[in-house]
Structure 1
C-alpha cells in the first residue's frame, strides 16, 4: 500500500509518497511561481538559428523558449525524412504556433518546447497528431497488451496517437473510451483558444501537484491519501470522484493531530538522511552523491561492510544494495540528465549483470523514463534519466549564500 502525505499552507504545498513506509517521492509547489512543464502556449517565433537547428519562441515567460528541429518534425518516426531539413524551411520569424513545454526553464536557459503535443489522462496519453498506438511496457501480460492495442486502434480517429498507460491494465473499455473523449475535447478547446488569442498566450495549464500525483500514481482501492488541510481534502475527493467511483474516493483522510504531518510520518527525518552527500546503507556500506552542472556522479564504497565469504562476494553484495538505493534516490531527488555510477570493481561479468538487474528492478517503478547505457572501459556505469521539472533538492534545501554549495572553508581564513 502507498500513502500520499500532503501538507498545505498558504505559501506552499508539499507532497510525500511512501511505499510500504519507504519514502520514494517528494515534491513541492509554491503558491506563487508554479511550474510550467506540460502547459500549452500560443507562441511567436522570434529567432531561427539554422546553425544549431533550433528556434527561440516567445511564450510570455522571462526567457524565450527553445524549440529544436526534432520537436518540429512529425512525431511519428516513420514519417520523418531520412535527412533532417534545415529548420528555416519549416518555421520562420514572426510565425505563430502552438507549443507545449517539456522542460522547465533553468538558470540562464529558457523552457524546452515541442510541437509533439501530448495530454495525459487517467488511463491513456492523447497525442492529436502522432498517428500511432503504444502500450506501456509495464503492462504485465502479452494478452492484455494486445487487448489494449486493439482497443486503441478501434477508438482513435484520423491521425490521433494514443499511449495506453500501465494503470489501464484490466480497466473496462468504456472507462478508457470516456478518458479519450475527455482528452479529445480538451485538445479542441486548446485549438479554439489559439484561434482567438494573440501570442504570447497561455492556452492550457497542466494539473497542479496534488491532482497530477493522484492521476499518475494513486490507486483508490489500495492507497491512502492523508492531508492536514480541509480544502485540499475536499478538492481531492471531488477530483477522485471524477475518475473513480464515490466508494473508491473514500480513501481520503484528514489529519487532525497537533504534531506537523510530515514530522508525524517521519518524512522530514527521511529527507534529512536521503539528501546528505554521504548516504549510509544497511550493513555499513555507503554511497557518495555529487551533483555537477553537467552530470551526477555517485561513488559506491564498502565502508564498514565485510559480509561476504570472498572479496568478490562482498563487493557484489555491496554493489547490489547500492544499486537498489541509487534507483530509489534518483526517483526521490528527481535527478535528471547524465548519471555516472562508480561501483566497486567486480571481476565476473555475471556479477555485473546482477547489479544492473537490481538497478532495473527498482527503476521500473519510476514513472520517469531512465535508460542504462552500460559499462565503460573504466568500469563506470553510464545511464540517463529524463528531466522535466526542477530537482527535488532545489526546494528541499537552499544553497548556502556563503560557500555557494562548495562546503569548504578557505585555508587562509582565520578565526
Structure 2
C-alpha cells in the first residue's frame, strides 16, 4: 500500500511517502520553495560573463542565479536590465541556481510553455505518437504544450480545463510583473503536496496526518494520528538511508560516495556467499531495486556510477540493467540508464531538481548517526 504521511508537529515537520511500510521519499516542510526548481522571478542582470556565454541575475538580496545565453530569449541582456526567469536547478553548495527564460507552468496532466510554439508528449507515455497528435490539437495558439503520461487517462475536457487554469495563472503573473520592481519573486515553486499530486504516477491510497486542518485541505480523505512517522519508524529509516554504508536484506552492502563530479556506488556481497555466480546475480538484482529507492530518497542528481558485483555473462548484466530501469520507473524525476562501460561500471543520470537530502538541515539527533 502506498501511503502519504504528514507530520506537522514536533522537531521534524515533514512529508514522507511510504510503500509497503518502506520509506520511499521525504520532504522537510521547511524547504525553501522560493529557491526551488520552478520558482519564477523578475530578476536584475548583474555581471555578464562573456567567456562563459552567460550572465548572473540577481533574484533577491544577496542571491544570484546563473543564466546561460542559450537559455535567454531575444537580444542579449545588459547589466541593469530586468528579466523574467525561472529556476531550472536550485542552488547547491557554492553553485548558483541555474536559470532559464523558457518559462514552464506545470499541471497534473500537462505543462504549459508560454513562450513555446510546439506540442510534445512525455517520453513515459505508452502511446507517445498518439499523445503528441493529441497535444497538437489541444495546444493554445502561440504557446507550447507538453502532455504528461497521466494525460493518457484524462479526457480532453479535463486537460482543457487545466490549460485554461494555467493560462489564467500566466496572465495574472504577467500583470503582477508589469508593476513589480526587480528583483522580486513572482511565483514560488509548487508546494510539496501539490508536487506529489502532480508528479506521482499513482496517487497514495491513504493519507495520515497529525493535523486536522491539514486533513481538511486534502483533496481526498485523510486519517488523523498523533504520530504518523512513528507508525513506520520513518526517522530511523531515514537515518539508515542517509548513511554511507547501506545494508541489503540478503547481507549485501552498498557504499555510496558522493563527489563533485558524480555519485559513486559500490555493491558488495555477503562474504559467506555460496554458488558465487547465482549469489552475485541475486545481490545485484536486490541492489538495483534498493539503489532506485535511495536515489529518490536522497535526491541524488547528476552523473551516477554503479560498480555492481562482477557477473559471468552479458545476459546477467542485461538482466540487472533491466531491473534497474524497471525500478526507476516509479521515480517522477527524469532518469536515464546508459549501460555498462568497458570497465564494467553502470552509467546513469538523474535530473537535478532538489538539493541532495543530506544537505538539508535535519534535527541534530537525526544526523549525528550518519557515517562519515
Q: TM-score, normalised by structure 2?
A: 0.91
Higher mean C-alpha deviation, range 177-186 or range 389-398: 389-398
Alpha-carbon deviation of 1:25? 0.9
Rg larger for: 1
Deviation sequence 1:258-288 (CA, Å, 0-9, x none): 5x22011231232232222211112211111
Distance in 2 between residues matched to 1:51 and 1:398, nearest whole Å: 42
In the TM superposition, what is the alpha-carbon distance from 1:68 to its structure 2 partner? 1.1
Distance 2:252 2:31 in 1: 40
- 2:114 maps to what in 1? 128
**Counterpart residue number, 1:385:** 350
Q: Closer, same or farther in 2 for the Cα pair 1:395/1:382, shift >3 Å?
A: same
Q: 1:97: which partner in 2?
A: 83
Shift of 1:30: 1.1
Asked if 1:319 is matched to 2:284, the reply is yes
2-side partners of 1:194 and 1:331: how far apart? 35
How far does the alpha carbon of each residue in 1:224-264 deviate from its partner, in whole angstroms, 9 at most, with x for none?
1111111211222xxx2xxxxxxxx2xx22323x5x22011
Range that drifts further, 153-162 or 224-233: 153-162
The match for 2:138 is 155
1:292 maps to which of 259, 281, 296? 259
Cα deviation, residue 297, structure 1? 1.1
| Coordinate RMSD, CA, aligned | 2.7
Q: Cα 1:124–1:175, aligned 2, differ >3 Å: closer, same or farther?
A: same
Deviation at residue 399 of structure 1 after TM alignment: 8.7
Do structure 1's residue 224 and structure 2's residue 206 form an aligned pair?
A: yes
When residues 356 and 44 of structure 1 are mapped into structure 2, their CA distance, relative to the original with a 3 A threshold, is: same
TM-score by length of 1: 0.82
CA distance in structure 2 between the aligned counterparts of 1:11 and 1:114, rounded to whole angstroms = 36
Which position in structure 2 is the counterpart of 1:253?
222
How do 1:163-312 and structure 2 match up within 5 A? 163-217=146-200, 223-236=205-218, 240=219, 249=220, 252-256=221-225, 258=226, 260-304=227-271, 306=273, 309=275, 311-312=276-277
Separation in 2 of the partners of 1:389 and 1:62?
20
The Cα shift of 1:11 comes to 7.5
Distance (whole Å) between structure 1 residues aligned to residue 344 and residue 83 of structure 2: 46
Q: Aligned partners of 1:53 and 1:399: how far apart in 2?
A: 42
Contact 2:120 2:147 in 1 (8 A): yes
Question: How far does residue 36 in structure 1 lie from its aligned partner after superposition?
Answer: 3.3
Structure 2 Cα separation of the partners of residues 393 and 162 of structure 1: 35
Larger deviation, residues 287-296 vs 94-103:
287-296
Contact 2:42 2:82 in 1 (8 A): yes
- Write the deviation string for residues 292-314 of structure 1: whole angstroms up to 9, x where unpaired: 2332111011124625x4x3333
Matched, 1:39 2:22: no
The superposition leaves residues 137-171 of structure 1 with CA deviations (integer Å, 9 ceiling, x where unpaired) of 3233x3xx455333321221233111111222221
- Closer/same/farther in 2, CA of residues 31 and 385 from structure 1, 3 Å limit: closer
Mapped contact 1:12–1:31 kept (Cα < 8 A): no
Q: Distance in 1 between matches of 2:62 and 2:264?
A: 31
CA change 1:273–1:371 in 2 (3 A) is same
The residue that corresponds to 1:347 in the other structure is 312
Question: Unpaired segments of 5 or more residues in structure 2?
Answer: none
Unaligned runs of 5+ in 1: 75-88, 241-248, 408-415
- Residue pair 2:306, 2:346 contacting (<8 A) in 1 also: yes
Q: How many residues align?
A: 371
> Match of 2:18?
18
Secondary structure of 2:270's counterpart equals coil
CA-to-aligned-CA distance 1:115-138 (integer Å, 9 cap, x gap): 111111121111112222222232
Quickly say closer, same or farther: Cα 1:393–1:31, change in 2 above 3 A: closer
The CA distance in 2 between the partners of 1:335 and 1:305, in whole Å, is 31
374-383 or 98-107, which deviates more:
374-383
Partners in 2 of 1:217 and 1:353 — Cα distance?
Answer: 27
For residues 165 and 267 of structure 2, the distance between their equivalents in structure 1, rounded to whole angstroms, comes to 47
